[in-house]
């Protein structure tokens, strides 16, 4: 199983990076989300998959009777999933906003780069608001 | 250049902030006077407070004879300067800020000279660098002023870095960080292999701060500071910090041929070059700045010696210079304030209008020229005695001192005679005497030059000797006195005065000559500074343009490539030789899920329509959730499923408002293969990482702790939840902060999109 | 989304999901569940509600502004650590009041804070997107 998961994680990471490198901002977000999934799996697998029982203590007992899955990486992954979700959401909104200003989703398009350097020089959106009207 | 000051008479005479805050240095001066008798009898005052005990650092202060001398100069000058500034700066903007900087600087300066821990000294050293930057650039609306302030902070700041390096090297070489323990360490440090490196680093620190050639040029430019600041920082105190450093390091690093040769040569050249250049300008403040260079050079030169007369000469001249130079700077400021100019060509005949200022200038200038009965004369006598007693280059020292003193004599004549006795320019309006706050400082400090000149024995016993003893352990008594008998130093003093008169007589010719030389210099240190600065800025912008060109692809590719190279290279050497061969039984289910996830991921990569990609993404998430569920993680499986659902909702909401994906460009040719290569190499790396990790035994002790204590100590049966809300709740608190911040930032962006 | 059947079904669903969310939140210390998961369930319920009935109704239904909800969640979670300080224990140490098999403690309050913070964040983004 471990070998299988190792291969899966590697392939998912490769796919995620290929998406992120594409230059299309939507694909970038998809890749980002995929990368989060693969890294979560990596942490999960690194905590070993030997025991498959959930880390829950039976009622009436004071500690685990049978060996259970590793609880520590699970706690890490749980918050990582939620934070990954928050970041993906933020990226999406940023994407939406960027499109509103540049009218393009292609990060390599000259209009996109020009807008960036303009925003750099005026330190704000004063240059951008004029653009939106056009 | 000339402005008539009478029409701005409505400006208040004096600002209260300055008057009140000048009580601080006065109070400190009074306290120092109380400590004075004990300190000169050898009972140094010492205070120690813990600071960072784990690093063996403490706030350790010590007031010995040398510290006392410096503290007295700093507080006395500080008092007169802030009193003076209360009138000089009256009506200007940001006065509160000004006095905070001024007194902050004074306290930092007191910190330097009383710190007994080298690290502590360095902290105060840097504080004076920063505060002097703020003070030089006080009129920050002027671009030249800003450039000058930047020049000062870059040069002294770079020197500070060298000093820090020197401190670290000293620690490596086994030296103590406690200054008062240094006399016992000297021999072991001087014989250490690191000695030359330590010496060079400390010397560069001192040279930049005390404006020694080739780092001297920031000081004349720093004259763009308000005049009280020039008087305080660039005459009486800050530039002396480098001198103080050399004095403190003398028992530790001094006495070698390297030390003597370097200091004598650097100091001698600085003194001569400063004195020669002082002839050229017409701006009185610039003239004074160059004479300060000369004075600092002389002090450095004499600190190169190791005989008692040499060190006494350096210390005495330090005092002489602080008194006359602060007095002259303040008086020049008064002339500037009352007439609107400090250009020699527009000044003249001020004696009847400003008699008291004239008197103060006369006293200070005579001390500077070294006339008998003035403190400067005593300083010059001991200087020649010291120069003649040096081990290394006595002739060079004597000649350097002789010529620079002669030039000083001429310059001091220029400073007094031209503005006060010279012909009154026709275009000069009516001039009034400066207010008392501006007269007191020059008068008292000029007057001290006379008093000290008459009672040198008292000064010697109560100020100079205790100071010299602090850094010259041999405790050889050198008494200053008015008349030593007819000897070589006296003869040299007379020669100096005669030579000075000759130079004064031919000053116009000499000025033209010096200006001519300065104009012909091809390679100058300010030029080199400018070339380095420009080159640095150019390099930075070139670098930024190459790597920060706005291309997302470029950024990512660089990051990914760096990851592959940095982690991949060492990893290849340690790649595990054998992997666990999977047990084929019971693998049908997991293999199915993995293939499902892969297929879904492939769908996301190849999708030409957005909806398909979103579906693929959801399927990947679901598959991952299944894996979590299979291997005993119901909590994260549930979380993963719910997050996937919400992600699909939000992605749809956003993408619904964007154009379809088909419009996007396709990657072509080389770029496509490069991207694929990069991605695959990271994928291979991640796979081998995980396999490598799984080869090693796992330390489950932390998990075991949670398993044992989850119910007993934290009353929870769901160990994952107990970790989140109890054992590691501070982490969780941080994490929900991130979530809330991301949401708020998103909402703010949406709102600005709607409004903008 | 004007179908009456769908609307009625959705209301029922949303109600059930919210009850389920509270159940998950309260049992989270002993069984799978907890603040994060409960917030996601409730968030999904509101997302459904918003899609069928529009964001304005959601705003009316929750009364508080989402950002207020998120902030109060943060405050609650941060505040749950304070009582320990008064007893001279490290910040965020769990304190328990136990009677028989029933126990109540500051970690539960902390978990409610997590729930509110995450739910508030989801709602804030969701409604902002819907209204744009």
What's the confidence (pLDDT) of residue B2? Answer: 43
Q: Which of B222-231, B427-436, C9-18 has the lowest mean pLDDT?
A: B427-436
Instruction: Quickly tell me which residue has 């009193």 as its tokens.
Output: B83
Residues 6+ apart with CB under 8 A from B486: none
- Check whether residue B381 and residue B331 sit in a common domain: yes
In tens, the pLDDT along B195-215 reads: 999 999 999 999 999 999 889
Most B CBs within 10 Å, among A7, A28, A72, to test the B interface: A72
Rounded distance, CA B128 to CA B87, Å?
24
Kindly determine whether residue B634 and residue C92, on different chains, have CB atoms separated by under 8 Å: no
In tens, the pLDDT along B629-685 reads: 988 899 999 999 999 999 999 998 888 888 876 555 567 778 888 899 999 999 999
Contact of C74 with chain A, judged by CB distance below 8 Å, is answered with no
Residues 6+ apart with CB under 8 A from C20: C41
- Check whether residue B491 and residue B625 sit in a common domain: no
| Residue A41 token pair | 């799996």
B222 DSSP assignment: G
SS3 category, C99:
strand
From chain B, pick out residues whose CB is under 8 angstroms from the CB of A57.
Answer: 710-711, 717, 719
Residues 6+ apart with CB under 8 A from B699: none
**Percentage above 70 pLDDT, chain B:** 95
When pLDDT is cut at 50, 70 and 90, the band that residue B574 belongs to is low
Domain containing B432 equals 5-12+145-505
- Check whether residue B638 and residue B745 sit in a common domain: no
How many domains does chain B fold into?
4
Taking all residues of chain C, what is their mean pLDDT, rounded to a whole number? 89
Find the mean pLDDT for residues B232-238.
85
C contact chains, 3+ CB pairs < 8 A: A, B
Contact of B612 with chain A, judged by CB distance below 8 Å, is answered with no
Taking all residues of chain A, what is their mean pLDDT, rounded to a whole number? 82
CB-neighbour burial class of residue A59 (10 A; exposed 0-12, middle 13-18, buried 19+):
exposed
pLDDT at residue B189 tops 50: yes
- Check whether residue B669 and residue B569 sit in a common domain: yes
**Cβ–Cβ under 8 Å, residues B167 and B122:** yes
Instruction: Quickly tell me which residue has 């994260």 as its tokens.
Output: B636
When pLDDT is cut at 50, 70 and 90, the band that residue B578 belongs to is low
Kindly determine whether residue C36 and residue A54, on different chains, have CB atoms separated by under 8 Å: no
When pLDDT is cut at 50, 70 and 90, the band that residue B3 belongs to is very low
Contact of C32 with chain A, judged by CB distance below 8 Å, is answered with yes
What's the confidence (pLDDT) of residue B289? Answer: 93
- Smallest CA-to-CA distance from B735 within C114, C107, A91 is with C114
pLDDT at residue C105 tops 90: no
C100 min Cα distance to partner chain B (Å): 12
Q: Kindly give the interhelix angle for B308-339 and B284-303, rounded to the nearest 10 degrees.
A: 170
Q: What letters, b where the CB count within 10 A reaches 16 and e where it falls short, cover A108-127?
A: bbeebbebbeebeeeeebeb
From chain C, pick out residues whose CB is under 8 angstroms from the CB of A78.
Answer: 36
In tens, the pLDDT along B113-167 reads: 999 999 999 999 999 999 999 999 998 889 999 999 999 999 999 999 999 999 9
When pLDDT is cut at 50, 70 and 90, the band that residue B555 belongs to is confident
CB-nearest partner of A17 from B640, B678, B690: B678
Q: How far is CA C16 from the centre of its chain?
A: 14
- Check whether residue B409 and residue B433 sit in a common domain: yes
ipTM given for this complex = 0.94
B-chain residue closest to C120, CA distance: B740
Contact of C47 with chain B, judged by CB distance below 8 Å, is answered with yes
**Cβ–Cβ under 8 Å, residues B712 and C98:** no
Contact of B584 with chain A, judged by CB distance below 8 Å, is answered with no
Rounded distance, CA B309 to CA B474, Å?
12
Kindly determine whether residue B743 and residue C125, on different chains, have CB atoms separated by under 8 Å: yes
pLDDT at residue C16 tops 50: yes
Instruction: Quickly tell me which residue has 């009456």 as its tokens.
Output: C4
A contact chains, 3+ CB pairs < 8 A: B, C
Rounded distance, CA B617 to CA A91, Å?
16
B570 min Cα distance to partner chain A (Å): 19
Most A CBs within 10 Å, among B549, B554, B602, B624, to test the A interface: B624
- Check whether residue B689 and residue B710 sit in a common domain: no
Contact of C95 with chain B, judged by CB distance below 8 Å, is answered with no
Most B CBs within 10 Å, among A79, A88, A97, A128, to test the B interface: A79
What's the confidence (pLDDT) of residue A131? Answer: 36
B contact chains, 3+ CB pairs < 8 A: A, C
Rounded distance, CA C90 to CA C99, Å?
24
Rounded distance, CA B450 to CA B372, Å?
10
Rounded distance, CA B44 to CA B175, Å?
22
pLDDT at residue B581 tops 50: yes
What's the confidence (pLDDT) of residue B695? Answer: 82
- Check whether residue B711 and residue B629 sit in a common domain: no
B491 DSSP assignment: H
Rounded distance, CA B105 to CA B547, Å?
40
Rounded distance, CA B380 to CA B398, Å?
11
What's the confidence (pLDDT) of residue A132? Answer: 35
**Cβ–Cβ under 8 Å, residues B593 and B631:** no
Residue B619 phi, psi (nearest 5) = -65, -40
pLDDT at residue B425 tops 90: no
Taking all residues of chain B, what is their mean pLDDT, rounded to a whole number? 88
In tens, the pLDDT along B454-509 reads: 899 999 989 999 999 888 877 677 778 777 777 888 888 889 999 999 998 888 88
Rounded distance, CA A31 to CA A34, Å?
5
Kindly determine whether residue C121 and residue A86, on different chains, have CB atoms separated by under 8 Å: yes
**Percentage above 90 pLDDT, chain B:** 49
Kindly determine whether residue C32 and residue B638, on different chains, have CB atoms separated by under 8 Å: yes
- Check whether residue B499 and residue B567 sit in a common domain: no
Number of Cβ within 10 Å of residue C93's Cβ equals 16
Q: Taking the CA atoms of C64, C68, C70 and C71 in sequence, report the sign of the dihedral they define.
A: negative
Kindly determine whether residue A93 and residue C125, on different chains, have CB atoms separated by under 8 Å: yes
Kindly determine whether residue A23 and residue B580, on different chains, have CB atoms separated by under 8 Å: no
Find the mean pLDDT for residues C84-108.
83
The three-point CA angle B469-B471-B472 to 5° equals: 60
From chain B, pick out residues whose CB is under 8 angstroms from the CB of A68.
Answer: 632, 707, 719
Contact of B709 with chain C, judged by CB distance below 8 Å, is answered with no
What's the confidence (pLDDT) of residue B340? Answer: 87
Instruction: Quickly tell me which residue has 């671009």 as its tokens.
Output: B143
Contact of A91 with chain B, judged by CB distance below 8 Å, is answered with no
Kindly determine whether residue B715 and residue C81, on different chains, have CB atoms separated by under 8 Å: no
From chain C, pick out residues whose CB is under 8 angstroms from the CB of B718.
Answer: 28-34
B-chain residue closest to A77, CA distance: B636
SS3 category, C104:
strand
When pLDDT is cut at 50, 70 and 90, the band that residue A126 belongs to is very low
What's the confidence (pLDDT) of residue A115? Answer: 67
When pLDDT is cut at 50, 70 and 90, the band that residue B8 belongs to is very low
In tens, the pLDDT along B29-83 reads: 999 999 999 998 888 899 998 888 888 788 999 999 999 999 999 999 999 999 9
Q: Taking the CA atoms of C6, C7, C11 and C12 in sequence, report the sign of the dihedral they define.
A: negative
pLDDT at residue A124 tops 50: no
Find the mean pLDDT for residues B611-623.
92
Query: Residue B213 falls within a domain, yes or no?
Result: yes
Rounded distance, CA A91 to CA B128, Å?
45
pLDDT at residue B310 tops 70: yes
- Check whether residue B601 and residue B644 sit in a common domain: yes
- Check whether residue B496 and residue B380 sit in a common domain: yes
Number of Cβ within 10 Å of residue B65's Cβ equals 24
The three-point CA angle B78-B84-B89 to 5° equals: 115
- Check whether residue B495 and residue B603 sit in a common domain: no
CB-nearest partner of A94 from B682, B698, B749: B749
CB-nearest partner of B740 from C41, C110, C117: C117
Kindly determine whether residue A41 and residue B651, on different chains, have CB atoms separated by under 8 Å: no
Most B CBs within 10 Å, among C1, C14, C26, C34, to test the B interface: C34
From chain C, pick out residues whose CB is under 8 angstroms from the CB of A93.
Answer: 125, 128-129
- Check whether residue B165 and residue B303 sit in a common domain: yes
What's the confidence (pLDDT) of residue A13? Answer: 96
Rounded distance, CA B211 to CA B215, Å?
6
A-chain residue closest to B555, CA distance: A21
A56 min Cα distance to partner chain B (Å): 5
Contact of A111 with chain B, judged by CB distance below 8 Å, is answered with no
Query: Residue B43 falls within a domain, yes or no?
Result: no
Q: Which of A43-47, A110-114, B357-361, C51-55 has the lowest mean pLDDT?
A: A110-114
Most B CBs within 10 Å, among C107, C119, C120, C123, to test the B interface: C107
Cis before B214? omega within 30: yes
Kindly determine whether residue C114 and residue B736, on different chains, have CB atoms separated by under 8 Å: yes
Number of Cβ within 10 Å of residue C27's Cβ equals 16
Q: Which sequence spans correspond to the domains of chain A?
A: 2-51+69-123
Q: Which sequence spans correspond to the domains of chain C?
A: 4-131
Most C CBs within 10 Å, among A82, A83, A84, to test the C interface: A82
Rounded distance, CA B36 to CA B14, Å?
33
pLDDT at residue A111 tops 80: no
Find the mean pLDDT for residues B218-227.
89
Domain A2-51+69-123's class? Answer: mainly alpha
| Residue C40 token pair | 């996601």
């Amino acid at each position: 199983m471990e070998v299988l998961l190792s291969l899966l994680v590697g392939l998912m990471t490769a796919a995620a990076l290929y998406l992120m490198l594409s230059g299309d901002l939507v694909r970038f977000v998809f890749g980002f989300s995929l990368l989060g999934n693969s890294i979560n799996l990596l942490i999960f697998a690194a905590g070993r998959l030997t025991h498959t029982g959930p880390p829950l203590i039976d009622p009436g007992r004071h500690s685990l009777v049978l060996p259970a899955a590793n609880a520590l990486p699970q706690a890490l992954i749980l918050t990582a999933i939620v934070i990954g979700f928050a970041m993906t959401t933020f990226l999406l909104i940023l994407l939406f906003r960027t499109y509103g200003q540049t009218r393009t989703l292609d990060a390599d398009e000259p209009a996109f780069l020009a807008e960036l350097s303009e925003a750099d020089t005026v330190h704000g959106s004063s240059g951008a608001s004029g653009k939106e009207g056009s | 250049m000339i402005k008539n000051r009478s029409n701005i008479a409505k400006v208040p005479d004096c600002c209260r902030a300055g008057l009140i805050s000048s009580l601080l240095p006065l109070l400190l001066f009074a306290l120092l006077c109380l400590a004075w008798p004990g300190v000169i009898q050898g009972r140094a005052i010492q205070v120690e407070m813990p600071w960072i005990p784990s690093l063996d650092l403490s706030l350790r202060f010590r007031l010995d004879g040398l510290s006392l001398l410096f503290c007295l100069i700093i507080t006395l000058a500080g008092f007169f300067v802030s009193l003076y500034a209360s009138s000089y700066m009256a009506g200007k903007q940001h006065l509160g800020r000004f006095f905070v900087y001024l007194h902050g600087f004074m306290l930092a300066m007191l910190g330097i000279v009383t710190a007994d821990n080298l690290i502590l000294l360095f902290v105060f050293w840097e504080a004076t660098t920063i505060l002097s930057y703020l003070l030089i650039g006080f009129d920050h609306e002027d671009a030249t002023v800003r450039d000058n302030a930047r020049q000062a902070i870059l040069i002294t700041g770079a020197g500070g870095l060298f000093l820090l390096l020197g401190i670290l090297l000293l620690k490596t070489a086994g030296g103590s960080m406690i200054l008062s323990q240094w006399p016992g360490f000297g021999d072991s440090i001087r014989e250490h292999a690191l000695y030359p490196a330590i010496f060079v680093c400390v010397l560069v620190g001192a040279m930049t701060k005390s404006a020694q050639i080739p780092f001297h040029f920031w000081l004349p430019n720093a004259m763009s500071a308000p005049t009280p600041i020039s008087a305080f920082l660039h005459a009486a105190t800050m530039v002396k910090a480098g001198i103080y450093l050399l004095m403190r390091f003398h028992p530790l690093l001094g006495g070698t041929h390297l030390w003597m040769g370097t200091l004598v040569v650097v100091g001698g050249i600085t003194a001569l070059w400063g004195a020669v250049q002082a002839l050229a300008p017409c701006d009185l403040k610039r003239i004074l700045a160059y004479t300060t260079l000369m004075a600092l050079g002389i002090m450095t030169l004499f600190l190169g010696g190791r005989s008692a007369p040499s060190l006494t000469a350096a210390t005495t001249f330090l005092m002489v210079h602080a008194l006359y130079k602060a007095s002259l700077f303040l008086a020049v400021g008064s002339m500037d304030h009352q007439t609107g100019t400090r250009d020699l060509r527009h000044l003249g005949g001020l004696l009847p209008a400003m008699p008291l200022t004239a008197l103060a200038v006369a006293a200070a200038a005579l001390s500077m020229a070294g006339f008998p009965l003035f403190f400067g004369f005593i300083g010059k006598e001991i200087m020649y005695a010291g120069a003649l007693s040096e081990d290394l280059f006595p002739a060079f020292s004597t000649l350097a001192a002789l010529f620079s003193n002669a030039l000083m004599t001429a310059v001091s004549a220029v400073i007094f005679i031209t503005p006060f006795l010279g012909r009154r320019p026709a275009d000069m309006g009516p001039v009034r005497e400066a207010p008392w706050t501006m007269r007191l400082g020059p008068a008292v400090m000029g007057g001290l030059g006379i008093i000290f000149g008459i009672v040198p024995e008292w000064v010697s016993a109560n100020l100079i000797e205790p100071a010299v003893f602090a850094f010259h352990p041999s405790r050889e008594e050198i008494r200053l006195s008015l008349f030593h008998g007819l000897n070589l130093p006296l003869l040299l003093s007379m020669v100096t005065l005669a030579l000075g008169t000759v130079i004064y007589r031919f000053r116009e010719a000499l000025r033209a000559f010096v200006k001519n030389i300065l104009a012909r210099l091809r390679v100058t240190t300010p030029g080199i500074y400018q070339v380095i600065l420009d080159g640095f800025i150019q390099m930075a912008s070139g670098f930024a343009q190459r790597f920060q060109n706005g291309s997302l692809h470029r950024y990512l590719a660089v990051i990914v490539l760096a990851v592959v190279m940095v982690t991949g290279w060492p990893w290849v050497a340690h790649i595990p030789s054998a992997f666990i061969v999977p047990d084929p039984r019971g693998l049908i289910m997991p293999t199915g899920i993995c293939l499902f996830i892969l297929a879904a991921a492939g769908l996301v990569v190849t999708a030409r329509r957005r909806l398909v990609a979103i579906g693929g993404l959801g399927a990947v998430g679901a598959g991952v959730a299944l894996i979590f569920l299979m291997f005993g993680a119901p909590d994260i499986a549930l979380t993963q499923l719910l997050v996937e659902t919400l992600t699909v909702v939000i992605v749809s909401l956003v993408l619904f408002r964007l154009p379809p994906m088909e419009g996007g460009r396709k990657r072509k040719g080389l770029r496509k293969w490069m991207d694929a290569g990069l991605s695959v190499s990271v994928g291979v790396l991640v796979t081998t990482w995980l396999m490598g990790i799984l080869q090693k035994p796992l330390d489950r002790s932390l998990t075991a702790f949670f398993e044992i204590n989850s119910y007993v100590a934290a009353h929870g049966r769901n160990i994952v939840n107990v970790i989140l809300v109890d054992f590691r709740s501070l982490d969780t608190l941080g994490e929900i902060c991130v979530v809330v911040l991301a949401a708020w930032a998103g909402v703010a962006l949406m709102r600005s999109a709607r409004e903008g | 989304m004007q179908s009456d059947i769908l609307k009625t079904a959705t209301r029922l669903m949303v109600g059930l999901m919210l009850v389920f969310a509270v159940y998950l939140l309260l049992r989270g210390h002993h069984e799978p569940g907890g603040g994060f998961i409960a917030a996601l369930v409730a968030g999904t319920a509101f997302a459904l509600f918003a899609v069928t009935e529009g964001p304005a109704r959601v705003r009316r239904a929750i009364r508080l502004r989402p950002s207020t909800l998120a902030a109060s969640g943060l405050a609650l979670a941060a505040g749950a650590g304070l009582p320990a300080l008064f007893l001279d224990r490290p910040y965020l140490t769990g304190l328990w009041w136990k009677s028989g098999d029933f126990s109540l403690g500051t970690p539960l309050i902390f978990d409610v804070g997590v729930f509110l913070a995450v739910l508030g964040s989801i709602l804030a983004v969701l409604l902002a997107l819907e209204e744009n």
